[in-house]
A and B are shown apart, each in its own frame.
Chain A
Amino acid sequence: MALLEIDELTRRFGGIVAVDRVTMRVAEGEVRAVIGPNGAGKSTLFNLITGVIKPSQGVVRFAGQRLTGLPTPRICQHGIARTFQLTALFPEMTARENARLAAQAGEHRRWLFVGGSALFADAGRRADTALERLGLAPIANRPAGLLSHGDQRLLEVAMALAQNPRLLLLDEPTQGLSVEETARAVETLSGLLADGGMTVLLVEHDMEVVFSLANKITVLHRGAVIADGTPQAIKNDAEVQRAYLGGFA
């Protein structure tokens, strides 16, 4: 059974069908990229999975359990973490505090307000591990708002990682990065994914990034799935070439 099952998922905004009867399966351990031109419905798909918006039709299941209809925090508690297309951080907190707040979201002690800093011990450890894995340990004590854009993007990934998710949703992790920053982010991310065991759903515009990270690709066009397969199969698909890739690779 696939970890993430999406069936006939549809979302209409007025007369526009942003996501059109999308059906897909993401297996455990898969790194799946969702690609498609602007307005293809990629971010809407993420928002539907995480419950930020409700679908007009269709169902999302995660590890066999129905997510559709649950509020966002409950969906997160099933083990789904996401990053945002536009960087979303806590600018006045340090990088470590950002990661720690993410890490403690899954703990029952998040409600405690007496007991001092010992309460942070577990969350702090997981935060430090996540920062380490993304190469952010040297800047852990800097306020997030003062980090470079590249580091901010990686910090968002670290925060998602600190939540120990079963499924990681990455919304354009290299969005707005310079060529050098993109190269560094890709290197860091592929190192992370090479460790294996992580299930990732990735939205990305940069085809180079997609082909270096993903092992499965789903192509969206005008809200609908037009192709689904290995990177090699997608590269060779005539329809994908016509709709989107436009001669890439």
Chain B
Amino acid sequence: MVTAAAVVALAPLILPLYLMTLVTEALILGLFAMSLDLMIGYTRLLSFGHAAAYGFGAYASGWLLLHTQLPMLLAVPLAALLTGFVAIGVAWVCTQATGVSFSMLTLAFAQLLYAVAFKWTSVTGGSDGLAGIPRRPGPFGLDAFISRSGFFYLVLIVLLGALAFCQALVRSPFGAVLRGIRENEAKTLALGYSTRRYKIAVVALAYGLGGLAGALYAPFAGFANTELLFWLLSGQVVIMVIIGGSGTLIGPILGAGFFLVVEHQLSNYTEAWALFFGLTFIAFVIFAPEGIWGLFTTRLTRDGAIPRVKPKEG
């Protein structure tokens, strides 16, 4: 893992410009997919509306950079915090339900946000979105991150930090409770855990990290539009998590990279690239349900990544 990070860190020295942009975007999407893995992989909370986190983070940081004098290094974390804070309310509502109803409620919230972004033109720019989002330098002369390669390193540092944070989280007592909810929520409740509070907490964390990814995307791309809130992205990020390997944290990062590369390469050859990607997804679900990372490391037995055992019937 350390070697992989080191290789990626050298990217700006060897890659042509357009590829470095692609890698930066892959890392941002990787952070986004990893945040969802906390819910899908570790708590078995399937969100169909994770784009809400991404889009909200992007709009929030975009708005802050356009309408305040905050430097990028403050606007981005502030937008992420805001996303996580709003997610507490969203989670409070969504966790009233379980299973499919939970998924539908997350989707409903994302669509609600999508509609708001469309209509509230004075703040969101409506169908045009927010454009010309600057990467404002500072504070304290920390200006190196606003250049193309500087921004790449910023994203890389944030991603590695978030990964370390999530890995500590899933191995902590809190993470053990999440896995309890994943495997047997009724039993977890019977042991004395208020499972709903844990679910609200993990949704807020996942949305906060997803919002962080979106908050980085806005100054990366220079714009934020309603596509970032669209259900298509919510579906795509679920696919990234599954293809990469849910419940592994690293897997979804690889899944995001895989998704982006395939989208990029296939779309050179055919307009129907999504069709072929769909087939790839189906193949993964059927033949390699443990995902890309699962193919690399079959059956880890460390803390956080217990081999999948099918529960006994009856």
Contacts and interface: CB of A to CB of B under 8 A. Distances in A.
B191 A105 contact: yes
A105 B177 CA distance: 9
Given A101-B177, A117-B303, A120-B173, A76 B191 contact: yes
A52 B308 CA distance: 30
Interface in A102-130: 102, 104-107, 109-117, 119-120, 123
Given A71-B194, A113-B172, A143-B306, A89 B187 contact: yes
Given A73-B193, A76-B191, A123 B306 contact: no
Nearest to A82: B190
B183 A91 contact: yes
Q: Is the interface of B mostly helix, strand, loop or mixed?
A: helix
Interface size range on B against A: 20 to 34
A146 B177 contact: no
Interface of B: 165, 168-169, 171-177, 179-180, 183-184, 186-194, 303, 306-312
A204 interface: no
A98 to B, nearest CB: 9
B45 to A, nearest CB: 16
B174 A111 contact: yes
Interface in A41-100: 50, 52, 71-73, 76-77, 81-82, 84, 88-94, 97, 100
B194 A84 contact: no
A77 B190 CA distance: 10
A114 B168 CA distance: 6
B307 A143 contact: yes
B174 A100 contact: no
A145 interface: yes
Contacts of B309: 91-92, 143, 145-146
A61 to B, nearest CB: 19
**Closest 4 interchain pairs by CB?**
A76-B192, A113-B174, A145-B309, A90-B183
A78 to B, nearest CB: 9
A70 to B, nearest CB: 12
B192 A88 contact: no
A48 B308 CA distance: 34
A94 B188 CA distance: 15
A73 B180 contact: no
A73 B187 contact: no
Nearest to B202: A113
B201 to A, nearest CB: 8
B191 A102 contact: yes
A163 B174 contact: no
A92 B168 contact: no
Contacts of A106: 192
A85 B173 CA distance: 27
